[in-house]
Chains A and B, each alone.
Chain A
Amino acid sequence: MKSSVITFPGSNCDRDMDVALKKFGFKNKMVWHDDVELPKSDLVVLPGGFSYGDYLRCGSMASKSKIMKSVINFANSGGMVMGICNGFQILVETGLVPGVLLRNKYLEFICKNIFVKINDKKNTYFKNIDSEILEFHIAHNEGNYFCTNDQLKEIEDNEQVAINYCDKEGKTEEKFNPNGSIKNIAGIFNKEKNVLGMMPHPERMIDPSLSGEDGSLFFNNLINNLK
């Protein structure tokens, strides 16, 4: 399986993603934002970080990068595109996934482990995954997902909500919502479910010595689904 990780100026989880993808069997290439062509890929990842310093709006400038034209075309033709954290912010700025990401409710950066409930398994990302609840890790300042009521209805009707913040039993109550996201949304798909944007960082959970191992579960499952 071939993957590509896009490096924007200010990306800082690009290496971590590269390490994770390779660990689970991807042949990964790093792609510079100023490139025009995307290498042949089974998966394209927009990594976390502070692309363009998050100036103007998080992800806004990166969404206009040269490479993004190819990424958008790739996504629109059914290619798998995953945006993590700042990558998710870039995805909403491109319009590939609906909604926006606001500043966290308590106006503070949050770095900690959280639980997410997998809302939908009829997609290549979570199909066959041997768990309903994953312990993931978040590290962001603008992860407060928001959309209009009409958008929310559409997202829910199309089963586009990928994961919700919850506790370890899977309860998706407001008190387990770290950042104020509407309906505890931690990640969403596009309509076709080939594009996934999520705030948690599975690449930080790939080793028992790190924050946990549910990222391993995620990547192992993902590569098997892609095969």
Chain B
Amino acid sequence: MIVNEQVAIDHGLKKDEYAKICELLKRTPNITELGIFSAMWNEHCSYKSSRLHLKKLPTKGKQVIQGPGENAGVVDIGDNDAIVFKIESHNHPSFIEPYQGAATGVGGIMRDVFTMGARPIANLNSIHFGSPQHKKTKNLLRGVVHGIGGYGNCMGVPTIAGQTSFDSSYNGNILVNAMTLGLVKKDKIFYSKAAGLGKPVIYVGSKTGRDGIHGASMASASFDEKIEEKKPTVQVGDPFTEKLLLEACLELMAGDSIIAIQDMGAAGLTSSSIEMASKGNLGIEINLNKVPCREAKMTPYEIMLSESQERMLIVLENGKEDQAKKIFDKWNLDFAVIGKTTKSKKIELFFDNEQVADIPVNTLVENSPMYDRKWKKAKLPKKNKIKKEDLKNLKIIDVLKKVLSNPNVCSKEWIWQQYDHTVMGDTIQKPGGDSGVVRVHGTDKAIAASVDSSAVYCWAHPLTGGKQVVCESFRNLISVGAKPIAITNCLNFGSPENEENMGEFVECVQGIGEAAEYLKFPVVSGNVSFYNQTKEEGIKPTPSIGGVGLIKDYNKMITMDFKEVDNIVLVIGKTEGHIDQSLFARNILDEKNGPPPEINLFNEKNNGETLLKLIDADHIKSAHDVSIGGIITAVAKMCIKGNKGINLKKPKYLINEIEYFFAEDQGRYVIEVNKDSLKKVTDILNKNAVHYDELGTINKNQMFINEKTKVTIDELRTSNTKWLTSYMSK
């Protein structure tokens, strides 16, 4: 095939990008080379629109062993143990083919983690669908959940937490973000930096097929009417092979034969070989005839761009080939020496004794385009004045029931019951709480993880929204008694070529950065997913934050279920009555404008750290952060989980109960304390200048708002659990 500008454009490259390629090579690329450039220079692999802004994120910290730039981030949890973790999007494939798209998303992120030598110990996910009324939503939800379960369950890695939301902005572009945590010994972490000349380059895992060719390019484009035609670009997962690959890799890693290892994810053999060469500042030569292929007559172009799953590339020490091969034979996996490292600093590919590509590595990586895209700053919307008469006719219990059964608040048990969340025998907090918690096997330590996003807040004001998501992650970890360590982010946005979407990205990232910096909660890994839009309409900006924290003694873990009748319930943090952008405003008052709740980072940190002190001193019986739906929603959930009721007091200020109970002010937690320790708790709160209100006392099984207004917990539970199950069974 003759390469020209039109062919380059068909590959998703821009005219000037093609001109730059010709200039860098000092000639016209052949078709294989063009394919390689298009794969490396697309948004998904090159981060060309985001790099400039991502640089501003805080990525360092006392516990950070590895920040962004590797397969995943790594943090120190003491005793030579480290946690490897990352979140990644698989949005476009999941919309086209929900089962395989979601499954391979989970497979891909697990590979990123075990590539670094870590055994995956927990999976999480953040999934976002269109309006429940939209004709595609139900099937997409079912397919995605089956896909996530199908892959994770087979791998034997528990899925311990997640988030599901519905919003019409995802009607034409759902989001599937998968996160994995792995456990590794600090001195046995593997990296992707190749080193040494003449070292064998090894291909292991599944054979290469024609699936997923140009998957990364698809992920870098908007959807249009022709998406159905893109089905063949969705990869097909085989979790069984990945399980074998995991065990074989960990077995090989127990020895000392690996110099570098990199999984073949987006852009397959292309990006894995180039990344290893680039990091090691050397060249790699590959004989493509040696690559194990599933289909006959695959061309160099297809072999290089295939995104077949469950494959790894390894640079091995000389002379260790036989020993390594034995391990892969035992696990019935392909093993082939396909090339070697060279001093050329070029990617040189051979096929049928002919050179089919000859590209300097730096042209693909350092010289890849970087854009300072135009972006628009968002204005802080004006506050709405809520008319008191709008509130007068509302009955608090009816509103509460509506909120509890709202698709974005209701119980997601239908989903997480389909995920094996108990395999590996260390899950001590199941999905449905603030964070999932797994023990560090054989120790007293436990790791808490949660994944959060607040698209509505980010849409209303990206800077505030960006901060808020990080704070929410921080709170979710603290609510279970974990000290927050670090985060991974998955940044899902519309087109970077649209100034407003780009502005949302820039300001959300700024918000994330500010909060992460202040809370000492650095970003150690992540991924950017742009072009989440159909035709011209972009999704609400949806950064997903995956937070990881440490519980030093797992016996001190906190859950959110109310524990004991007569215990006192407090809310930490001040309630100002912020209603704009709350679930209450949007769904009950049908008011979609106004600013999101403000973030006060000082209070956020102070409230959280003080609560950790209280937990450490064994004063806290249960805790739950206050998020969408406000105080009363948080309390109701604690009642439902603990099968207890509560006598709520009349709020002392904010005369209107509705505002007090449904406001979404930030930095708040509901906590349960024993009467005997109440004085000690309030002393500590006062000493640390943490605002608190006493909410009420736990009773057997009813929620009393006042003497006349009451509801049984069973009724609230029905409101909370019914919606999703009945929606899915219709």
Contact = CB atoms under 8 A, between A and B. Distances in A.
B330 to A, nearest CB: 8
B424 interface: yes
B642 interface: no
Contacts of B241: 53
A111 B425 contact: no
Given A9-B331, A109-B149, A139-B153, A55 B240 contact: yes
A137 interface: yes
Given A111-B420, A137-B422, A209-B439, A10 B240 contact: yes
A108 B416 CA distance: 11
B332 interface: yes
Contact of A53 (B154, B420, B425, B430): B154
Nearest to B157: A12
Contact of B244 (A10, A13, A203, A210): A10
Given A12-B156, A50-B154, A108 B239 contact: no
A48 B156 CA distance: 9
Interface string B414-454: 00111111111111101000000001000000000000000
Interface in A80-134: 108-112
B711 to A, nearest CB: 26
Interface stretch (A15-23, A152-160, A165-173, A187-195): A15-23
A49 interface: yes
A74 interface: no
Contact of A204 (B153, B240, B416, B425): B425
A26 interface: no
A50 B554 contact: no
A19 B155 CA distance: 19
B418 A10 contact: no
Nearest to B418: A109
B243 A12 contact: yes
Interface string A137-151: 101010000000000
Given A12-B155, A112-B417, A210 B243 contact: no
B97 to A, nearest CB: 19
Contact of B238 (A53, A108, A109, A209): A53
B418 A49 contact: no
B715 to A, nearest CB: 21
B240 A53 contact: yes
Contact of B239 (A53, A111, A204): A53
Chain A CB within 10 A, most for which of B420, B439, B555: B420
A52 interface: yes
A109 B154 contact: no
Interface residues of A, number: 32
A134 B62 CA distance: 47
A209 B421 CA distance: 14
Interface in A45-60: 48-50, 52-55
Given A50-B154, A209-B439, A9 B244 contact: yes
Interface residues of B, number: 33
B423 A139 contact: yes
Given A10-B244, A110-B418, A111-B417, A15 B424 contact: yes
Contacts of A209: 428, 439, 554-555
25 contacts: A9-B331, A9-B332, A10-B243, A12-B423, A15-B424, A16-B425, A34-B330, A49-B156, A50-B154, A50-B156, A50-B240, A50-B243, A53-B154, A53-B240, A55-B240, A108-B418, A109-B150, A109-B153, A109-B418, A111-B421, A139-B423, A201-B422, A204-B422, A210-B426, A210-B428
A221 interface: no
Contacts of B243: 9-10, 12, 50, 53
Contact of B417 (A15, A110, A211): A110
Given A10-B244, A12-B155, A209-B439, A109 B425 contact: no
Contacts of A108: 146, 417-418
Interface in A176-190: none
A158 B592 CA distance: 67
B78 to A, nearest CB: 20
A56 B555 CA distance: 43
Given A10-B240, A12-B156, A52-B240, A20 B419 contact: no
A31 to B, nearest CB: 14
A217 to B, nearest CB: 16
A110 B417 CA distance: 6
Contacts of B420: 109, 111, 139
A171 to B, nearest CB: 20
Nearest to B437: A209
B554 A19 contact: no
Nearest to A48: B423
Contact of A10 (B154, B424, B427, B555): B154
A203 B439 contact: no
A53 to B, nearest CB: 3
Contacts of B244: 9-10
A49 B240 CA distance: 10
Interface in A192-207: 201, 203-204, 206-207
Given A111-B416, A112-B417, 11 more contacts: A9-B243, A15-B425, A50-B156, A50-B240, A109-B420, A110-B417, A139-B423, A204-B423, A204-B425, A209-B428, A210-B426
A16 B158 CA distance: 12
Among B418, B424, B425, chain A packs the most CB atoms within 10 A around the CB of B425
A144 to B, nearest CB: 15
Nearest to A7: B247
Nearest to A113: B422
Interface in B243-259: 243-244
Contacts of A137: 422
Interface in B131-164: 146, 149-150, 153-156
Contacts of B238: 53
Nearest to B156: A12
Interface in B313-333: 330-332
Contacts of A112: 417
In order of increasing CB-CB distance, the 7 nearest A-B pairs are A12-B156, A53-B240, A16-B425, A50-B154, A209-B428, A139-B420, A109-B418
Contacts of B146: 108
Nearest to A201: B422
A188 B533 CA distance: 53
Contact of A210 (B153, B419, B427): B427
Contact of A13 (B331, B332, B423): B423
Interface in B539-570: 554-555
Nearest to B422: A204
A139 B332 contact: no
A212 to B, nearest CB: 10
B154 A211 contact: no
Interface string B510-554: 000000000000000000000000000000000000000000001
A60 to B, nearest CB: 14
A55 B244 CA distance: 14
Given A12-B155, A50-B243, A53-B238, A139 B439 contact: no
Contact of A20 (B155, B425, B555): B425
Nearest to A9: B244
A210 B427 CA distance: 6
Contact of B418 (A12, A15, A50, A111): A111
Contact of A50 (B239, B416, B421, B426): B239
Contacts of A54: 154, 240
B401 to A, nearest CB: 25
A209 B427 CA distance: 8
A34 B329 CA distance: 12
Q: Which one of A49, A52, A109 has the highest number of Cβ atoms from chain B below 10 Å of its Cβ?
A: A109
A9 B245 CA distance: 11
B327 to A, nearest CB: 13
A202 to B, nearest CB: 11
Contacts of B428: 209-210
Contacts of B421: 111
A111 B413 CA distance: 10
A126 to B, nearest CB: 22
